Amino acid sequence: MASVGPSAASTQPILPSGPAVFKTIPYAFILPEIVCGTWVWILVAATSVSLPLLQGWVMYVSLTSCLISLLLLLSYLLGFHRNSENWKVLDSLYHGTTAILYMSAAVLQANATINSEFGPNAPLNYQLNSAASFFAFLTTFLYILHAFSIYYQ
């Protein structure tokens, strides 16, 4: 007698491959995360880094996250996931962890922005640091959205 339950193929997660990555909601956040994270790194590098300990962490988090997200995007585009449930868990853990790290980097960048208000070349550094803080918080929000949307999918 045939079973009435769902088939094994229907219980597999449907993970996008190729250009469909840009059309699916949790995975469509990867490209904006990369772009905003790159802006954070560029803007912090353009300032005269007056607080190397704070802004060094911001640059480390933004550059590392950008590179890992780029590798993750390439793996989705090339279909390395082979529709495995493990990729969904990996994606959720990575974006959740990165959201926490980016939140710490965004707060440190905001502190560096406040401290750069006074000092040599203050107006330009303050504007660059303000833009870097904005993009750091925006990137944090994108990583949080991605982590929660993949979790609730």
Assigned domain for 2 exists? no
Cα end-to-end distance, the chain, whole Å = 33
pLDDT value at residue 138: 97
Q: Which domain holds residue 91?
A: 19-152
Q: Which residues contact 11 (CB under 8 A, 6 or more apart)?
A: none
Cα 107 to Cα 112: distance, rounded to the nearest angstrom: 9
Helix (H, G, I), strand (E, B) or coil at 53: helix
Single pTM value for the model: 0.83
Assigned domain for 26 exists? yes
Confidence of residue 13 (pLDDT cuts 50, 70, 90): low
Give the residue with greater pLDDT, 149 vs 43: 43
For range 72-93, the mean pLDDT: 82
Assigned domain for 70 exists? yes
Assigned domain for 8 exists? no
Number of domains in the chain: 1
Assigned domain for 105 exists? yes
pLDDT value at residue 3: 53
Assigned domain for 28 exists? yes
pLDDT tens track for 108-140: 999 999 988 887 778 888 999 999 999 999 999
Q: Which residues contact 36 (CB under 8 A, 6 or more apart)?
A: 135, 138, 139, 142
pLDDT value at residue 123: 84
Assigned domain for 131 exists? yes
Assigned domain for 9 exists? no
In the DSSP assignment, the letter for residue 13 is -
